[in-house]
Amino acid sequence: MATIRQTTGAPPRSLTSFFIGKPLPTHEMPHQTISKKVGLAVFASDALSSTAYATEAILEVLAFAGIAVLALSIPIAGAIVVLLAIVTISYEQTIHAYPGGGGAYIVSRDNLGEMPAQIAGAALLTDYILTVSVSISSGVAQITSGFPGLHPYRVIIAVGLVTFMMIVNLRGVKESGNTFAIPTYFFLGVALFTLAVGFYRYFTGSLGMVTGVTPAEAEATQGLTLFLILRAFANGCTALTGVEAISNGIPAFKEPKSHNAGITLIWMSTILGAMFLGITFLSHQIGAQFSFTETVISQLGRAVWGAGSLWYILLGSTTLILIMAANTSFADFPRLGALIANDGFLPRQLTFRGSRLVFSYGIVSLAAFASLLIVLFQAQVTALIPLYAIGVFLSFTLSQTGMAVRWLRSSRLKEGEDIVQQGGVVRYDPKWRLKLITNGLGAIVTTIVMIVFAIAKFTQGAWVIVLLVPTLVLIFYRIHHHYKDVASHLSLESFGAPPRVRRNRVLLLTGGVHSGVLHALRYARSLSQDVTAVYVGTDLAEAEEVKSKWEQWGDGVRLVVIDSPYRRLIEPLIDYIDEMAEQRRPNEMLTIVVPQFVPAHWWQRFLHMNTAQILQQALLRKRDIVVMEVPYHLRDEAH
């Protein structure tokens, strides 16, 4: 017979809560959502910040063919905006088809299979890490350009900024969104105002040519070729990085989530396309060129405002948005990591929500990996850029292809028929032909961009990503194999009858109902005539499932379910054990039995929580309390 036990009081104040805020109970999760306006700041900062360097990336390639061909930047930018529209339409459809979020990962998993899904996941996770490294390093480069004395400390400053963003995001999506909305909208206001004045001066004939620029390529070094145009197109497609972010973060939006996320995506793409075209067009009109000493945004600002305060404000807001671009990754990396971990391809710890209802392990992991890259590459943007964007275009390709497959499946259905997938439901869509053409064309173009990127940047460092993504996929599958191995050992399908009842008494800690727990239950009954099973519930649905299974397999043994609204595991157990200890008779021992399965390999231990060791440390100084580990050894199926 299962009983529900409520814990009382919030966790005590600590140094952690001082930095990230007081813990939030689980029932507060629906209130930790964001509006479309805040969502635009949270999920669009990466995409919008790309307008600061996308035009420059096009001019960098065209400069190899000479100044005469720089006018091609305008039609190339137009073609990129068309691709942006295709990708936006695709992800808008994805948002409504998969309201649980996940973007390219979920689309690939449901329509292309397990392997493409893991490739998409590896590509996106890699790109999110690089986004943080590149954005922060680029922002620090702007700072050290204005204050050269800080240049020797650029790595320390960059790591410090990553740590700051980690702490703010650990405070929760709602708080981080409100914090970072101000610099995002400040950049939008300054940049759009600059473009508006620039176009006014262009149409009135008062927009002059920029002077004092030292171009990186004074003369043509090669002729204009199709591959050069494709390279310029591919370079400019860095403007599309971050477009997929909203489709990954749908759960963060207020209800109706899909509607609000879709509207925010359209807002973002419209602003991004308009700014990108405007910057490219005006940059050509003022004669902007690629330069190692001055950015295109700086050249445009100087032509519009002169070398005055508004020019400095434009540069300052651009620096802010480049740094804020990292926030998109902090919003999406933990969510995507939790999805992959929930499927068993990453450590389960990534699915755990911290005290502020965010995926804390994912946020900390992202900060650690990004900081490591910054240290290894000494915060050099030019060294990190070649690693950038390949991953996101790989995920674009898989997402577009997956959606195309979805429309093909839809075409084979009749009205009223549906196919239930893990992430959504496929129904007949009368517009499937148009959508299939849209996604098919998008898949072809993004594939071309990805290949051109990989070839053009391979020797400059892109080979790292070409090798890293398959390596990550292999690691994912190794982790998945371990979890499947654990599940097969803990399965109750061939376990047989429930254990025979003996009157014993111990506290048996359970994290679920499986063969490892029943193995420990048998041992517990040999110690005492009174056995009480204890389960700490952090999720109502999981607690109900445990109670249902226990009624079948517990064979009458008492089950106490401790409800933990703040998702704490050890503290509620300690409180309950203390309460049981106070009820002991004189000279009576209290024995805590903890099932502990032992993996076949040492490295697999890091994929599981060591509850017994934590309890032993917590109860070490308490008298007459014994913590017993009951090992359940897992065989290595590979041998």
Residues 467-483, mean pLDDT to the nearest whole number: 93
Q: Is the pLDDT of residue 217 over 60?
A: no
pLDDT of residue 290: 82
Residues 563-568, mean pLDDT to the nearest whole number: 83
Distance CA 48, CA 43 (A): 10
Residue 485 in any domain: the answer is no
| In a shared domain, residues 337 and 447 | yes
Q: Quick: pLDDT tens for 70-95.
A: 889 999 999 999 989 988 988 888 88
Q: Is residue 360 within 8 Å of residue 170, measured between CB atoms? A: yes
Is residue 504 very low, low, confident or very high in pLDDT (cuts 50, 70, 90)? very low
| In a shared domain, residues 539 and 476 | no
Q: For the chain, how many structural domains are there in total? A: 2
- Where residue 557 sits, what CATH number does that domain have? 3.40.50
Lowest mean pLDDT among 198-212, 521-535, 584-598: 584-598
| In a shared domain, residues 298 and 410 | yes
Residue 6 in any domain: the answer is no
Whole domain around residue 602: which residue ranges? Answer: 506-633
Residue 241 in any domain: the answer is yes
What letter represents residue 71's amino acid?
A: A
| In a shared domain, residues 262 and 398 | yes
Residue 15 in any domain: the answer is no
Distance CA 306, CA 146 (A): 17
| In a shared domain, residues 150 and 232 | yes
Residues 374-392, mean pLDDT to the nearest whole number: 78
Residue 608 in any domain: the answer is yes
Regarding pTM above 0.85, the answer is: no
Lowest mean pLDDT among 64-68, 155-159, 476-480: 64-68
| In a shared domain, residues 473 and 513 | no
> What is the distance in angstroms between the CA of the first residue and the CA of the last residue of the chain?
41
| In a shared domain, residues 394 and 543 | no
- Choosing from 464, 480, 496, the residue where a domain stops is 480
Residue 161 in any domain: the answer is yes
DSSP of 215-257, one letter per residue? -S-SS--S---HHHHHHHHHHHGGGGTTTTHHHH-GGGBPSSH
Tokens in use for 300? 């445009």
Average model confidence (pLDDT) for the chain?
83
Is residue 639 very low, low, confident or very high in pLDDT (cuts 50, 70, 90)? very low
| In a shared domain, residues 465 and 519 | no
Q: Is residue 504 within 8 Å of residue 615, measured between CB atoms? A: no
Q: Quick: pLDDT tens for 258-290.
A: 889 999 999 999 999 999 999 999 999 999 888
pLDDT of residue 347: 92
| In a shared domain, residues 427 and 534 | no
CB atoms within 10 A of CB 85: 15
| In a shared domain, residues 298 and 413 | yes
| In a shared domain, residues 153 and 266 | yes
Q: Is residue 54 within 8 Å of residue 278, measured between CB atoms? A: no
CB atoms within 10 A of CB 501: 12
What letter represents residue 350's amino acid?
A: L
Q: Is the pLDDT of residue 123 over 80?
A: yes
- Where residue 74 sits, what CATH number does that domain have? 1.20.1740.10
555 Cβ contact partners less than 8 Å away, ≥ 6 residues apart: 498, 499, 500, 501
Q: Is 578 helix (H, G, I), strand (E, B) or coil?
A: helix
Nearest to 550 by CA among 572, 535, 536, 537: 535
545 half-sphere exposure, CB direction, 13 A CA radius? 10
Residue 60 in any domain: the answer is yes
512 Cβ contact partners less than 8 Å away, ≥ 6 residues apart: 546, 549
| In a shared domain, residues 451 and 522 | no
339 Cβ contact partners less than 8 Å away, ≥ 6 residues apart: 101, 102, 105, 106, 121
Instruction: Label residue 494 exposed, middle or buried (CB < 10 Å: 0-12, 13-18, 19+).
Output: exposed
β-pairing verdict for 425-427 and 418-420: antiparallel
Q: Quick: pLDDT tens for 591-613.
A: 888 888 777 777 777 776 666 67
Residue 280 in any domain: the answer is yes
